[in-house]
Structure 1
Amino acid sequence: MKSVLSILVVAGILMSCAINGKPTPKALLDKDLSQFSNIYEFGTAEMVGDELVLNSTGNWFFTTKKSYKNFILTGEIIMPDVTEYSNSGFMFRGQAFEGKKGTYAAGYQAEVDPSKRKWSGGLYHQGGRQWLHPVHETRSDLDEDFEKNFFSAWTPEMANAYKHLEWNSYRIECIDNEIKIFVNGVLTTHVLDNKLKEGFIGLQHHGSEKLRKTGKTDNVVRFRNVFITELD
């Protein structure tokens, strides 16, 4: 009787999922980092408890083996308390290319920018048109694929959404050509762009000069609770 009841409960759950048709989030981080690979010749990644710890001598992305098209990506990040340059981001719809210095990643990037500029939550096209939102004076190349920006300016609310030296929550919604980025619940980017259709997820460490010169650094970037919900 207990076995029959268990089967009925499971069947009920499956039917409910099928009826609701709601996709479920999938964790990207596990103790073996089985869903990631390092396409570079440098950079290190390790799980410490439930946190992914990244370190690198140069600009580097730790990338998923799988490509994603339409999805909701969520995750938390905390930046280090250092004096040297420190920067990070969530790459999405990324691709790997071969260059003079080896393989590198290019794609959309939800920016994590602890500098005085305060562009965390902006949209950067790594290896391409650079800043899509907000617009940079000299580092924005908005071509015919950039269809629409729903925001006319980078507002104080957007600039102050990121909290330095705290865990910050990012949410990236990517559905066809529509891209939204939220930082701690604040919508910082909402654009229509037709350039990139599908690709891997990449978690960034921008590189530590101290690590390159001395072999040691406290300039580490940490991620946790990284989930993806595929929408098709």
Structure 2
Amino acid sequence: MLDAHAWVCCDARMIQATATIRCAACILFLNGCAAPATSHDESRTASSASSPDNLSAATAIAHTRPLFDVMTFSQWQVVGGDARFELHALANPQESAAELTLVGRGPIPRNGFLVSPRELGDFTLTVDVRIGSAENPRAEAMNSGIQIRSRRMNVGQGNAAQWTIGGLQIEIDPSSRAWSGGVYEECGRAWLASLAENEAASAAFVLGGWNRYEIECIGPRIRTKVNGVAAAQWFDATVAGVLAFQVHGGASCEVAFKTPMLIEHGIHEWRALADEVSGSSGERCAWQSTIASTTRGVRLEIEGAARVDLLADDGARLASLSTSPEPKISAENKAKPSIVELLWMEGEGAALLDGVRVAQFACVTVPSRVRVLGESCAVLRAESLQRK
């Protein structure tokens, strides 16, 4: 027997209810009903303020567990559009949390999300996904996704709060484009890793049927599979955040997530990197630092034109990236520094400039040093990515 504690709406009042999940039973979550003492908008503000940012509370889990055992359904909250989420138990005599299907429905005017109560760092999520149903068959007109390493955002104007979820999304795309399993950034950079050049993955998604999604986020690397076919890979400096299930705004949308299973692998974090300024033959070395063999990335904030090199022990260049000599100007009409990110994992990596991937590289050996070359540049901040 699986007992769950939920808040439901009744005649515009909040009442506390205890729901017992049996076969064919469900729990309803309605937006704005997450707490009895606050209004619809106040509830969202409180949720955002209390979202767990301190990852020290998370612990590595060495085995697969049902997602709604790790974080019980009553702890999750709806953010954004007024999507309705139901948790259904399958016909299983043990009534395990492993045998649960989450169903999200619209229509809603803007995207709605069911958001985890805490952040995840490194993890693997396996879940079966179906979009559309016999009662709502026009799946090709729908859209959805699974948010990973994401965050709550207020996109309202002035004093009017309007909360949503921004960050990386693993796409559920039943349209003719067929980019299911690709990586998209909600409220950000848009498409990061599409399936435009991956015909096998594009054809793997079964319209109207169940599709097995495998999402692996370890260190800076994100990899996805759809029905066993490798779909997308992306390197990103964001290494922790909330998990969320999306119901897309607009036309009527219905999406189901069956038996979500989670493995937590631990946490990576960004740490300050000590500098060791010295000269370099033939070129001016503005900054350099040694890095540990366990490092999985370097992030630098640089002012002025510079070249950043990732070096092996023997001095060989593994990756190189140059910043623009033309300063970027912020909305406040101030010069903005460049953000350089060199990220790698298990022999492969990517170089990003201001969040845009400009190169991929192979780490034929373990990086041991990073240096910055330039005549009139300054390193304002330097960090390395390490396992916590």
**If the length of structure 2 is used for normalisation, what is the TM-score?**
0.45
Tell me, yes or no, if the aligned pair for 1:171 and 1:183 is still in contact at 8 Å.
yes
From 88, 91, 100, the counterpart of 2:147: 91
1:65 and 2:107 are equivalent in the alignment: no
Cα separation, partners in 2 of 1:84 and 1:111, compared to 1, 3 Å:
closer
Tell me, yes or no, if the aligned pair for 1:74 and 1:171 is still in contact at 8 Å.
yes
Question: How far, CA to CA, are the matches of 1:83 and 1:65 in structure 2?
Answer: 29
Describe how 1:11-22 pairs up with structure 2 within 5 A: none
Tell me, yes or no, if the aligned pair for 1:55 and 1:207 is still in contact at 8 Å.
no
Aligned to 1:77: 129
**Structure 1 runs of 4+ with >2 Å offset:** 207-210
Aligned to 1:223: 257
1:102 and 2:165 are equivalent in the alignment: no
Cα separation, partners in 2 of 1:25 and 1:33, compared to 1, 3 Å:
same
Aligned to 1:33: 73
From 111, 115, 122, the counterpart of 2:171: 111
- Which of structures 1 and 2 has the bigger CA Rg? 2
From 211, 221, 230, the counterpart of 1:168: 211
In structure 2, give the amino acid aligned to 1:181: T
Tell me, yes or no, if the aligned pair for 2:66 and 2:259 is still in contact at 8 Å.
yes
Tell me, yes or no, if the aligned pair for 1:78 and 1:167 is still in contact at 8 Å.
yes
Greater helix proportion: 1
Cα deviation per residue 1:84-115 (whole Å; 9 max; x = unaligned)? 73011111001001111611001111111000
From 80, 87, 93, the counterpart of 1:47: 87
Question: How far, CA to CA, are the matches of 1:204 and 1:25 in structure 2?
Answer: 23
Any idea what SS the aligned residue of 1:29 has? Answer: helix
Cα separation, partners in 2 of 1:66 and 1:83, compared to 1, 3 Å:
closer
Question: How far, CA to CA, are the matches of 2:224 and 2:187 in structure 1?
Answer: 19
* Cα shift at 1:52: 1.1
Any idea what SS the aligned residue of 2:68 has? Answer: coil
In structure 1, give the amino acid aligned to 2:183: L
Unaligned runs of 5+ in 2: 1-59, 90-99, 267-388
Higher relative contact order (Cα pairs below 8 Å, separated by 6+ residues) = 1
**76-85 or 42-51, larger mean C-alpha shift:** 76-85
Greater strand proportion: 2
Aligned to 1:16: none
From 200, 205, 208, the counterpart of 2:242: 200
Question: How far, CA to CA, are the matches of 1:86 and 1:64 in structure 2?
Answer: 23
Aligned-residue Cα RMSD (Å) equals 2.2
